[in-house]
A and B are shown apart, each in its own frame.
Chain A
Amino acid sequence: MKIEGTHELRAARARVYAALVDPSVLARCIPGCERLEQTGEHAYAATLRAGVGAIKGVFQGNVRLEDMRPPEHYRIVVDGKGQPGFLKGAGDLDLTERDGVTVIKYAGDVQVGGTIAGVGQRMIQGAAKMMAAQFFTALEAEAQAAPDAPPPSPPNFFRFALSWFSGLLRRTFQRRPETD
């Protein structure tokens, strides 16, 4: 499944790029990221916990950054698997700056398998977009933060961050009703 979009971040491109390749920043920005350990140059092992409310899934996986051309481009490759299924994806990020605003254009391909693919068809695209939006919103906060300042406290959305995944699910569990 293709996903693409554009996000505008009110922060300088160099700052944004630096944030984008900083594992501690990534750990805070990737929705539901519970662990991000470096395993090689620009390669990390990750634990992602995604979900909303009761709907949760834990994924073990890898994040790798490739094709790095600061401050304008890199490619991120992610894979993960867990009880509800697996996901993998790769996306190109292109950064341009205009009047102090960094425009990130992303285009990627996400594949989902297992239960989430079999039962969450209608949600996946939306969920992927939601995850991307959460990621960039968090990233903007990071990039705006003073370099020396402590990292911003997790914004409110973090509680919901996991929902990128739950998103997938929604339709899923969901039967025709919408009850609960």
Chain B
Amino acid sequence: MIPAQFDYVVPASLAEAAALLAERPDEAKILAGGHSLIPAMKLRLAQPQLLIDISRLKDLAYIREEGGQLRIGAMTTHYALESSARLREICPLLPACAATIGDVQVRNCGTIGGSLAHADPAADWPAAILALDAELVATSANGERTIRATDFFVDMLTTALEPGEILREIRVPLAQARAQQAYLKLPHPASGFAVVGVAVNLTQQNNTCASIAVGLTSVAAKAFRAGGVEQALVGRALDEQTIAAAAAHATDSVELNEDLFASADYRRHLAQVYTRRAITAAAG
């Protein structure tokens, strides 16, 4: 319940934060919403020597439309995303996903950037970010780079962020056609984390599927795009049978998680069912 000691700094800018992080990449940790890090620290499984609190950098919390993209500051809280009326219009997947995260207190504090950088294999955001084919902007003392969502999640709790890099912004391409989206999740009865979470983002033209992206979380060590499902649907009419047949590919070539609540077999099955349901919900 009581964390180990650490030093604490509040940088005045992201650049300052990056510089501080660059000085002590092994010992310092960025503190965003704190809802992954602080619980770990209370159990003393994380004992960073320095916390760089970027939560006061108000210019990192925003939802903007710019250059055909939706740009979301890393420090935007889950609640801000959940409650954005504009997002409900132009990118309903984000509020739908946000609304399923943890509980209201968590959503009030937790941030999309913090969650993504932590890369919990059962977190909700990774599924949505993958389905939206987002780009993630990382900043460091050496400058800035953009990482595609599909390259971002490396393994359990492991992202493509290099030591010294801070996730600054999430960029979501805004589709020309009206996107049809859904996020469906089976929450774990104790933790509220996803047992399976499926995010779907598709467009239809002339009653056929013009594009589709399906992101799955909590099924494997990291969130992933269900390529087999997507391939089976592009160019096809989204009828019940086609969707069901495609959903059967949800976990193709994936090694499945298992835990006390769900075996690998059951999780595979759930992934398929939730994929089918999420696609049906999005298409409907």
Interface residues on A, range: 35 or more
B255 on interface, CB distance cutoff 8 Å: yes
- Decide yes or no: A180 and B33 within 8 Å by CB, A170-B121, A172-B45 being known contacts: yes
Please tell me if the beta carbons of B45 and A129 are within 8 angstroms of each other in the complex: no
| A180 CA to B117 CA, complexed, in Å | 8
Partner of B192, one of A53, A130, A166, A176: A176
Q: Which residues of A contact B258 (CB under 8 A)?
A: 125
Please tell me if the beta carbons of A179 and B118 are within 8 angstroms of each other in the complex: yes
| A89 CA to B162 CA, complexed, in Å | 31
Please tell me if the beta carbons of B157 and A176 are within 8 angstroms of each other in the complex: no
Considering the complex, give the chain A residue whose CB is closest to the CB of B123: A178
B204 on interface, CB distance cutoff 8 Å: no
Considering the complex, give the chain A residue whose CB is closest to the CB of B105: A177
* 5 nearest CB pairs, A to B: A173-B40, A179-B110, A180-B114, A179-B35, A178-B123
B33 → chain A, closest Cβ, in Å? 4
Q: What residues make up the interface of A, taking CB atoms closer than 8 Å to B?
A: 52-57, 83-84, 115-116, 119, 121-123, 125-127, 129-130, 159-160, 163, 166-167, 169-180
Interface residues on B, range: 35 or more
| A162 CA to B156 CA, complexed, in Å | 11
B57 → chain A, closest Cβ, in Å? 15
Q: Which residues of B contact A119 (CB under 8 A)?
A: 43, 45
B82 on interface, CB distance cutoff 8 Å: no
Q: List 5 A-B contacts (CB under 8 A).
A: A54-B40, A55-B157, A119-B43, A174-B122, A179-B34
- Decide yes or no: A55 and B260 within 8 Å by CB, A170-B121, A178-B115 being known contacts: no
| A54 CA to B37 CA, complexed, in Å | 8
Considering the complex, give the chain A residue whose CB is closest to the CB of B6: A54
Partner of A177, one of B40, B101, B257, B260: B101
| A55 CA to B259 CA, complexed, in Å | 22
Q: Which residues of B contact A166 (CB under 8 A)?
A: 157
B68 on interface, CB distance cutoff 8 Å: no
